[in-house]
Amino acid sequence: MAKERTLVLCVDRDDDLGFKAGIDGPIVGREACLHAATSLALADPEDSDVNAIFETIKLHDELAGKGEEVAVAVICGNHMNLLEGDRRVASSLDAILSATGSTSCIIVTDGAEDEYVLPIIQSRVPVSSVRRVVVNQMPNLEGTYYILRRLLDDPKVSKIVLVPLGLAMLLYAVGYLLGYPEGATIVVVGVIGTYLLFKGIGIDEVFGYLITSLKASLHGGRFTFVSYIAAILLGIVGIILGLISLLEYYSPFGIVIQVLAFIYGAVAWFTAAGLVASVGKIIDIFLNEREAIQRVIALPFFVLAIGAIAYGASVYILSISSEISGFPITSTTGALYILFAIIGGLFCAFFGVYLQSFLGRWVDEREPVANRSH
């Protein structure tokens, strides 16, 4: 029976080791971890990750002194992009477990943010303990001010806090210069509210993933880079035309009518953006990973189905609404719009599912032939 081996693991999710000390993770072994802690301490003596790494080494020495089989390591994420950082943590942990042969893990962190990766670690190795390192300090006003100043000097924090505040102040100043102080207040509150909504729902992570995908497509020479740029431009056009439609058919009596007026003007462009992006993805997979094409072949059909149904519903509701004046489509024609839109949308979705299933069966039938040829 193989002897159990414990991995004492320090988590540096925001990669202060790489950002401040220039040390690439993962770091494996006592001497390497000690060198990393010393380098980070020289680069920034006030960084709490220094104490976490030294605690990791201390815990390793205590377990080794008791005669246990133990390994020590530090894994790092990404300072500016937590999504990419968590993926890096996962791949680094796989490499460490393969190299050390560890069967259990003790995690050492310096705060709650690092513990967000705990489910990633638990999915790969049993976690027997979590140790959080808290640095003892004397709280006072001067120390609080200094900590806040240090936080705002961090580009990751300043991007989250200072950019929206600066943009809001700039918009307020522009509104006053143009002679619309009331409009400036509305715009500032709207911008801050939109930002908080995006952060709360996590839409900023989606944008971060989109930017990362664009970079990967550009560096890899993928066709999706061009299709994604085209889709973004079409989406911007859709937003502008949707706002124009909202102003043209504006109704102060219901948010539903306002949303449908926006959809009426924007949905065709949003659908075109989705089609361009999905077709670009299909072309890339066809050229590089042809066996996986059945996973994405249905995307344009679903996009077209959703766009058609949304357009038909918006036309029908606006055509029968008594609050809208000057709408070019009558209620009778609007009923035909939604009927044909639903039928066409369901047909598109059904055809996409059928095509996906057909290609899946085709790939499954080709795999045994390919295996026999080998």
Domain limits, the chain: 6-132, 203-365
Q: What pLDDT sits at residue 271?
A: 92
Which of the four pLDDT bands, split at 50, 70 and 90, describes residue 1?
A: very low
Q: What pLDDT sits at residue 242?
A: 86
Q: What pLDDT sits at residue 355?
A: 84
Among residues 142, 140, 162, the alpha carbon closest in space to that of 153 is found at 162
The model scores a pTM over 0.85? no
- The number of residues making up the chain comes to 374
Q: What pLDDT sits at residue 366?
A: 61
Task: Compute the distance between CA of residue 156 and CA of residue 154 in angstroms, rounded to an integer.
Answer: 5
Q: What percent of the chain has pLDDT over 70?
A: 75
Mean local confidence (pLDDT), 35-49: 84
**Between residues 287 and 93, which one has the greater pLDDT?**
93
Q: Tokens 């890096």 correspond to what residue? A: 88
Q: What pLDDT sits at residue 359?
A: 75
Identify the bridge partners of residue 10 per DSSP, sorted by sequence position: 74, 108
In the chain, what is the greatest distance between 2 CA atoms, to the nearest angstrom? 85
Q: What pLDDT sits at residue 112?
A: 56
Using DSSP's 3-state secondary structure scheme, residue 3 falls into: coil
Using DSSP's 3-state secondary structure scheme, residue 81 falls into: coil
